[in-house]
Amino acid sequence: PVSPHESLSNRELEVLRLVAAGKTIKEVADELSLSEKTIATYRLRLANKMGLSTNVELARYALQHKLVD
């Protein structure tokens, strides 16, 4: 079976890693030179694809799957 994060785009994966590292939507937006609205959309899309809702669930998933250091 394919892990949920394997269906994410590179950008969604990048957003997942940054959110899981504890960054706010604003910090992620600044780091990637995108708008907060765009980052919020990516976060919503990746959370939906993965069946997770909170940043805590996203962070836990990222840690379990070694997506963040």
- pTM exceeds 0.85, yes or no: yes
Question: Mean pLDDT throughout 24-45?
Answer: 97
The number of beta carbons lying within 10 Å of the beta carbon of residue 31 is: 13
Q: Is the pLDDT of residue 2 over 90?
A: no
d(CA 63, CA 41): 22
Q: Is the pLDDT of residue 69 over 90?
A: no
Question: Mean pLDDT throughout 6-12?
Answer: 94
- Alpha-helical regions (H) of 1-69: 10-20, 25-32, 36-50, 55-64
d(CA 64, CA 58): 10
In contact, 58 and 19? CB cutoff 8 Å = yes
Q: Please report which confidence band the pLDDT of residue 25 belongs to, taking 50, 70 and 90 as the band edges.
A: very high
Q: Please report which confidence band the pLDDT of residue 1 belongs to, taking 50, 70 and 90 as the band edges.
A: confident
The mean predicted confidence, pLDDT, of the chain is 95
What tokens appear for 48 in the block? 């939906």
